[in-house]
């Protein structure tokens, strides 16, 4: 006969199991989307990836500039060299006006900013769809206009004086953007940009990764004709994007793929125009890509994949079951990502020129972009309330 103590434990365990299975408060990650159908995902061990390392951890020499806002993902400088300009998690674009003035508000995304749109040093994913979440920033240096990819509102533009951003496009082929991410502009005013998923919003980006979602698209917007067209589809979390110096191709980061994290080269001109090919393979999740004045590409590695994600990759049903557990994903995020700082510089042929790291993440981690300006590397972070600045040797 079962003792009273054991019976109590059986009842407690049964109640906990029932609660986890039913998720009555709808707080589990899987409850945030209508249908979560993870795909098979096979990833190689990080230990088996051959990649040069920065044994001197040179990113640890970076200067950290703390901010009173969170998530300066992208960094841009205007034609006069002012900036950087950066987006925030509360839906604004801020400009750095030097140490005496500090950060000033330049633009904002939502017309009716509610009381929830407050500056905060912590992420605010629950209000991003209301306030906006500007991610990619690029200037048209001929006109002074700033173009913005907002994760929820789409592709926008704001004039040289700032203020409320104007919507340019938020759908293609009658499919609304769900996760507008990054962009670049060619000399003729054509805007290339990414929509990371047609199923998952930015606030559910880890679900997109864990589902191995491949509904992302590479798009083009013609400012003259106002037409939006799809250049590539069925992409795994298309993220950062950058045109080559001569404009003949662009480099596109796929944050997740069924094989390995990678950069794609999409040809815009020449005999290969319209075709995509592998540009480089990466040891972790890439974020933004930026081309410097020499035609080299800086790639920010947001994080190195953990072995837990590799283990769960071939087990889609187990991933689905784990995401039914009523614990918000932000509390388990670190289990799927290994936080450290890494940026990689490539030449136009996809050859590695330089790797900079903070392998312990002691000073720099969760890097979203590298912007090279006036002998400095400016490093953004989509998660943290800070920007890192690394002086470059002449």
Is 183 domain-assigned? yes
Report the CATH number at residue 279.
2.120.10.30
Distance in angstroms (rounded) separating the CA atoms of residues 380 and 390: 12
Taking residues 64-91, what's their average pLDDT?
A: 96
> What per-residue confidence (pLDDT) applies to 12?
60
Q: Is position 89 within any domain?
A: yes
Rounded to an integer, what distance in angstroms lies between the CA atom of residue 212 and that of residue 43? 11
Residue 14 lies in a domain: no
pLDDT of residue 46: 60
| Residue 353 pLDDT > 60 | yes
Q: Which residue has the higher pLDDT, 167 or 123?
A: 167
Q: How confident is the model over 155-185, as pLDDT tens digits?
A: 999 999 999 999 999 999 999 999 999 999 9
pLDDT digits (tens, 9 = 90+) for 277-305: 999 988 888 999 999 999 999 999 998 76
| Strand duo 154-158 + 145-150: pairing | antiparallel
252 or 340: which carries more pLDDT confidence? 252
pLDDT confidence band for 13 (50 / 70 / 90):
low
Contacts of 44 (CB under 8 A, 6+ apart): 259, 260, 310
Position 47 confidence tier, pLDDT thresholds 50, 70, 90: low
Q: Kindly state whether residue 290 falls inside one of the protein's structural domains.
A: yes
**Comparing 92-96, 187-191, 375-379, which segment has the lowest mean pLDDT?**
187-191
Res 259: pLDDT? 47
The pLDDT tens digits of the residues spanning 207-226 come to 888 888 999 999 999 999 99
Among 128-137, 238-247, 320-329, where is mean pLDDT lowest?
320-329
Count CA atoms closer than 13 A to 193's CA, side-chain side: 35
Which residue shows structure tokens 């002691």?
A: 362
pTM of the full structure: 0.90
Number of domains in the chain: 1
The reply to whether 9 falls in a domain is no
Structure-model confidence comparison of residues 347 and 329, the more confident one: 347
Does 376 sit behind a cis peptide bond, omega within 30 degrees of 0 on the bond before it?
Answer: no
Beta bridge partners of 193: 183, 219
pLDDT of residue 18 exceeding 80? no
Out of 172-176, 229-233, 316-320, least confident range: 316-320
Joined tokens for residue 368: 């979203």
**Rounded percentage of the chain residues whose pLDDT exceeds 70:** 85
Q: Following DSSP, what letter does each residue of 282-347 receive, concatenated?
A: -SSEEEEEEE-TTS-EEEEEEEEEPHHHHHHTT-HHHHHHHTTSSS-GGGTHHHHEE--EEEEEE-
The proportion of the chain whose per-residue pLDDT surpasses 90, expressed as a percent, equals: 65
Rounded average pLDDT over 99-109: 96
Return the pLDDT at 223. Answer: 92
How far apart are alpha carbons 21 and 23 in whole angstroms? 6
Average pLDDT, the chain: 88
Q: Which residue has the higher pLDDT, 68 or 333?
A: 68
| Residue 262 vs residue 26, higher pLDDT | 262
| 297 located within any domain | yes
Within a domain: residue 6?
no
> 58-75, pLDDT tens digit by residue?
999 999 999 999 999 999
Residue 140: name the closest of 191, 194, 84, 105 by CA. Answer: 191
Confidence of residue 15 (pLDDT cuts 50, 70, 90): low
Count each helix (H run) and each strand (E run) in the chain, helices first. Answer: 6, 28
Range of the domain at 360: 33-391
Is 10 domain-assigned? no
Q: What is the mean pLDDT of residues 357-370?
A: 96
């Amino acid at each position: 006969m079962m003792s009273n103590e054991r019976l109590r434990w059986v009842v407690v365990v049964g109640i906990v199991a029932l609660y986890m299975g039913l998720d009555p408060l709808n707080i589990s990650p899987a409850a945030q989307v209508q249908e979560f159908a993870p795909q098979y995902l096979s990833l190689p061990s990080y230990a088996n990836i051959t990649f040069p390392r920065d044994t001197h951890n040179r990113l640890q020499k970076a200067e950290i500039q703390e901010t009173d806002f969170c998530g300066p993902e992208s960094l841009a400088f205007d034609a006069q060299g002012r900036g950087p300009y950066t987006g925030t998690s509360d839906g604004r674009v801020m400009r750095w006006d030097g140490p005496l003035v500090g950060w000033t508000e330049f633009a904002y995304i939502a017309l009716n900013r509610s009381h929830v749109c407050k500056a905060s040093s912590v992420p605010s994913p629950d209000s991003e769809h209301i306030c906006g979440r500007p991610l990619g920033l690029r200037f048209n240096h001929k006109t002074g206009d700033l173009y913005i990819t907002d994760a929820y509102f789409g592709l926008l533009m704001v004039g040289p004086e700032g203020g409320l951003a104007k919507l340019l496009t938020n759908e293609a082929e009658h499919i609304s953007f769900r996760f507008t991410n990054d962009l670049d502009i060619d000399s003729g005013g054509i805007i290339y940009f990414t929509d990371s998923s047609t199923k998952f919003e930015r606030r559910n980006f880890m679900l997109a990764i864990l589902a191995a979602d491949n509904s992302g698209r590479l798009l083009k917007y013609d400012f003259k004709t106002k037409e939006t067209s799809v250049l590539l589809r069925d992409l795994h979390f298309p993220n950062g994007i950058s045109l080559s110096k001569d404009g003949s191709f662009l480099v596109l980061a796929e944050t997740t793929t069924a094989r390995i994290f990678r950069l794609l080269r999409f040809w815009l001109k020449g005999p290969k125009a319209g075709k995509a090919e592998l540009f480089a393979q990466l040891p972790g999740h890439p974020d933004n890509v930026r081309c410097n004045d020499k035609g080299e590409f800086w790639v920010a590695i947001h994080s190195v994949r953990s072995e837990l994600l590799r283990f769960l990759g071939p087990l889609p049903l187990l991933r689905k079951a784990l995401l039914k557990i009523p614990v918000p994903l932000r509390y388990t995020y670190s289990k799927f990502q290994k936080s450290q700082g890494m940026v990689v510089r490539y030449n136009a042929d996809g050859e590695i020129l330089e790797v900079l790291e903070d392998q312990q993440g002691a000073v720099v981690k969760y890097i979203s972009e590298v912007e090279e300006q006036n002998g400095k590397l400016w490093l953004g972070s989509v998660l943290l309330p800070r920007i890192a600045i690394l002086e470059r040797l002449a």
